[in-house]
Amino acid sequence: MHVTLVEVRVKPEHVSDFIVATRINHLESVREPGNRRFDVLQSPQEENRFLLYEAYVSAEAAQAHRQSVHYLTWRDSVAGWMVEPRRSVLYRGLFPELAQP
């Protein structure tokens, strides 16, 4: 599994906007055929700090996500709301294991 953790710090005045835009991206992303998880987490200590946990069956499926209309719309919408550029860290998912065909 191809996992990306995306750390985002949002300007305080745009937290609500970010949540709305990210919810739309989440709802579309979980419908993608290669998606296994798309969790959106908000820090209880810092309400403007978010973590997106994105799991896809392959690097190709993750790349297809980054080319989707809903992702590109989200990316462009939230760019000006961030305190700093978002950070992505890649992982290889080991468990749970994907079912073999």
Judge whether 97 lies within some domain: no
* Structural domain contains residue 99: no
pLDDT digits (tens, 9 = 90+) for 43-78: 999 999 999 999 999 999 999 999 999 999 999 999
pLDDT of residue 99 exceeding 80, the answer is: no
In a domain, 100, yes or no: no
Q: What is the pLDDT of residue 100?
A: 53
Whether residue 98 lies inside any domain: the answer is no
Position 101 in a domain: no
SS3 of residue 7 by DSSP: strand
For the whole prediction, is pTM greater than 0.85? yes
Q: Does a structural domain hold residue 18? A: yes
- DSSP structure string for 13-80: GGHHHHHHHHHHHHHHHTTSTTEEEEEEEE-SS-TTEEEEEEEESSHHHHHHHHTSHHHHHHHHHHGG
Distance (Å, whole) CA 45 – CA 67: 33
Number of domains in the chain: 1
Q: Choose between 99 and 84: higher pLDDT.
A: 84
pLDDT by residue (tens digit) across 3-36? 999 999 999 999 999 999 999 999 999 999 999 9
Is 80 exceeded by the pLDDT of residue 98?
A: no
- Give dist(CA 33, CA 56) in Å, integer: 9
Confidence of residue 96 (pLDDT cuts 50, 70, 90): confident
R_g of the chain computed on alpha carbons:
14
Are the C-beta atoms of 57 and 97 separated by less than 8 Å? Answer: no
- Write out the residue range of the structural domain in which residue 41 sits: 2-92
Residue 89's closest CA among 3, 18, 9? 3
